[in-house]
Amino acid sequence: MQTIHSISGIRDLVRDLRARDHVIALVPTMGALHDGHLSLIRLAAERADTVIVSIFVNPTQFGPNEDFLKYPRELGADLAACQEAGADVVFTPSVEEMYPKGFSTYVVEDRVSKPLEGASRPTHFRGVTTVVAKLLHIAQPDLMVFGQKDAQQVAVIKKMVEDLLIPVEVVVGPTVRESDGLAMSSRNRYLTATQRKEALALFQALSKAKEMVEGGELRADRLIAEATHILSDHRRIRVIYVAVADRDTMEAAREVTPGKSLIALAVWVDEVRLIDNFLL
Ligand code: AMP
């Protein structure tokens, strides 16, 4: 496995790989890798000849009062995990090279990115689409792998790829969870033992909603009320949103359409912001 820090290094490599007809997969990450990330690398390895994992804590997707500076960075452990999972190349650019002084061009998806996460993190998806567009131009992958854990991110990226006619396949891997159901997240390591216990309520709320749907309840307001009730029972949890939405457009739905809808939520567990979702 190679580690490449410069954009020109990846470009040189990719030119050579494409000349040899290699299928290239890109797995964009911000590092602090866990089994969720590694499952995406394995999925990429099944589909591609060369798997490039990018590790870049992207400043433009963090709001001014968010955790950019304290976001966990542990490159040594990440490189070992990437190798183990089957990555061929790890790309770790610097902020200075990705966003040189004077940088002023952004990619904005203007609809799917607006509700839910977009409503509470107004510049987040602009940062995501911008960095992903840049990574696509650098690595020119045939496919790019994302996790369903960030359902709205998947929808926004798919829309960007479609709208901008980008020749890449977007592959989505399922959410990987801890044994008790908590979705794996780099931010879980911020949780104290007490907060970690309370964070299980996200999974419980989603599970309850899914159970209700399986029992025939399709009315969104009933599902949202029940999930909110479960979350609100926890002293450290503050609900940011609970929503039933279309999985592609992220528009709020009044009724679940099986296979088309998801229930998504975001909460604060004290000062730690967590999100999760279930497809319904
Ligand atoms: P991040 O490093 O948080 O930007 O995440 C990088 C990629 O890993 C994104 O496509 C995420 O959706 C995905 N991811 C994060 N957590 C999980 C998880 N628990 N299961 C599956 N994919 C995940």
Output the CA–CA distances (angstroms, integers) from residue 213 to 10, 181, 202, 220, 276, in the order listed.
46, 19, 17, 10, 17
Alpha-carbon gap, residue 85 to 92, rounded angstroms: 17
Catalytic residue among 22, 37, 137, 229: 37
What distance in angstroms lies between residue 25's CA and the mean position of ligand 1's atoms?
16
Query: Model confidence at 196, in pLDDT bands (50, 70, 90)?
Result: very high
Alpha-carbon gap, residue 45 to 47, rounded angstroms: 5
Give, for ligand 1, the residue of 91, 92, 150 to mutate: max count of ligand atoms closer than 8 Å to Cβ: 150
Q: Determine whether 22 is an active site residue.
A: no
What distance in angstroms lies between residue 47's CA and the mean position of ligand 1's atoms?
18
Query: Model confidence at 36, in pLDDT bands (50, 70, 90)?
Result: very high
What distance in angstroms lies between residue 20's CA and the mean position of ligand 1's atoms?
30
Alpha-carbon gap, residue 48 to 52, rounded angstroms: 10
pLDDT at position 132:
99
What distance in angstroms lies between residue 213's CA and the mean position of ligand 1's atoms?
26
pLDDT at position 97:
98
Mean pLDDT, range 266-274, rounded to an integer: 98
Residue 149 CB–ligand 1 contact under 6 Å: yes
Task: Give the sign of the dihedral formed by CA 59, CA 63, CA 67, CA 69.
Answer: positive
Residue 185 CB–ligand 1 contact under 6 Å: yes
Number of the ligand 1 atom closest to the C-alpha atom of 146: 10
Query: Model confidence at 170, in pLDDT bands (50, 70, 90)?
Result: very high
Query: Model confidence at 251, in pLDDT bands (50, 70, 90)?
Result: very high
Distance of CA 49 to the CA centre of its chain: 23
